[in-house]
Amino acid sequence: MRVAIAGAGLAGLSCAKYLTDAGYTPIVLESRDVLGGLVAAWKDKDGDWYETGLHIFFGAYPNMLQLLKELGIEDRLQWKEHTLIFNQPDNPGTYSRFDFPDIPAPWNGIIAILRNNDMLTWPEKIRFGIGLIPAMIQGQKYVEAMDRYSWREWMKKQNIPPRVEKEVFIAMSKALNFINPEEISATILLTALNRFLQERYGSKMAFLDGSPTERMCEPMVEYITSRGGEVRLNAPLKEILLNEDGTVKGYVIRGLHGASDEVVTADMYVSAMPVDVMKVMMPEPWKQIEFFQKLEGLEGVPVINLQLWFDRKLTDIDQLLFSRSPLLSVYADMSNTCRGYENPDKSMLELVLAPAADWIAKSDEEILQATLAELEKLFPDHFIGDNPTKLLKYHVVKTPRSVYKATPGRQQHRPEQVTPVSNFYLAGSYTMQRYLGSMEGAVLSGKLTAQAIAEAHPVAKSSSLQMQTLQPATNAATA
């Protein structure tokens, strides 16, 4: 049974991988000349990789970790010390850490918070802890219900001092969804806190040992194609053809460089495209269906990623850092954190600029100069003085529409993977699953889509597609 999948991001590739496991033949169609979607990467003329974003893997990503294990590439994750590191703007060049001891959750998280006296006072810690009690007692039902509040509104409702937001959660909001606490849904941060505090290694982080395209997506393609599936680049979807009953008749693929258009037909069809693209490609008759009308409440958030190569080492820290800058979100010295980018003498900083709405239309040079001004505050010893560091080269990658913008009320607009059209399914981190807009969410959505197809349209002798139990990642413990 053939399944045509539009989009070769993590959702589309994971859906195809699990469909092959269940005995189907997936045909993945990608409009661009690169794999990965929102985790795509390219090589420049010097042979250096540059990426769409700073992609971090957490111990609380069980489906992603299981996928890498099934592909035989789990050793490509470079696990870091279990800590969260924040810059201290009032004392440039210094850091504040939340170090998690290797003991069961939630005690490791509680101790990490209690031992940090740089950012929060004891009364603030106590008030924040009390505010979290309803989420810890009532669980996911409470977390979902809080989607009607922004994080700032929720904190005020729980009588948590505003300084807690300033010290910790501006940085976390921008890291999780590239927007500030007054915009982001409380559900997003409560979901992350639940995972971080309830799972022993939930907040432990890893970096891939190279570019996501080469080190993660290409092995997925090899897995799919070696089992009879197909992955095609430069195959942009032009139109979704319908039968008279509203079901999908075929995907029209636009011919490039003078070639004729092509119609790809299959038994089942999946959109693994971003929600903004899906809304544009939606056939007119579907726009009258309430299920698809809900998508109008979702849109991608703009993101800007920068990679800057310098003539010397700026830091030896081998970890993600929360900048606490008004302009920058998170950053890392990839020459320390990533084996594929390793350099003992020079730094390559990868930084996320967020919120990016006011910057997405500006020139690369404007974005660069604003970023360098912020870096002077983060690394004063290197950028100020008689012998300042020199920028060797840089790349700015703009994504006008990235993961869905998780403002309050978005949960009710997130669709299930199964649609009212009997032979058409959705995959993508914007669809309903517990990990929101993230790599884990994309992988889980693809798996859920494959499972839904396997249950509704079983093939002869197909293997049973088992869902990964959402438990803490044990391999993060010993890495």
- Cβ neighbors of 165 (< 8 A, separation 6 or more) are 151, 152, 155, 181
Cβ neighbors of 242 (< 8 A, separation 6 or more) are 248, 249, 283, 285
Under the banding of pLDDT at 50, 70 and 90, the label for residue 465 is low
Cross-strand bridge partners of residue 77: 208
Band the pLDDT of 406: cuts 50, 70, 90. Answer: very high
- Give the Cα separation of 291 and 284 in Å (integer): 14
Q: Which of 17-21, 308-312, 388-392, 460-464 has the lowest mean pLDDT?
A: 460-464
Q: Is the pLDDT of residue 313 over 60?
A: yes
* Span 429-442, average pLDDT: 94
**What is the Cα–Cα distance from 316 to 308, expressed in whole angstroms?**
16
215-224 pLDDT, tens digit per residue, is: 999 999 999 9
Question: Which pTM does this prediction carry?
Answer: 0.94
The Cα 156–Cα 383 span in angstroms is 39
Q: Taking the chain, what is the end-to-end CA distance rounded to the nearest angstrom?
A: 40
Q: pLDDT tens digits, residue range 85-113?
A: 999 988 888 999 999 999 999 899 999 99
Q: What's residue 459's pLDDT?
A: 81
Q: Do 79 and 209 touch, CB atoms closer than 8 A?
A: no
**pLDDT reported for residue 460:** 63
CA distance linking residue 426 with residue 405, whole number of Å:
18
Beta strand residue intervals within 197-327, DSSP E: 205-208, 230-232, 237-242, 248-253, 262-264, 268-271, 303-310, 321-322
332 — pLDDT class (breaks 50, 70, 90): very high
Two tokens, residue 413:
């607009």
Please answer whether residues 13 and 221 qualify as being in contact, where contact means their C-beta atoms are separated by less than 8 angstroms: yes
Does 45 score more than 50 pLDDT? yes
Q: What is the pLDDT of residues 172-202, one digit of tens each?
A: 999 999 999 999 999 999 999 988 888 999 9
Q: How far is Cα 223 from Cα 211, in angstroms, rounded to an integer?
A: 18
Identity of the amino acid at 51: E
Neighbours of 245 (CB within 10 A): 8
The torsion angles phi and psi of 84, rounded to 5 degrees, stand at -115, 130
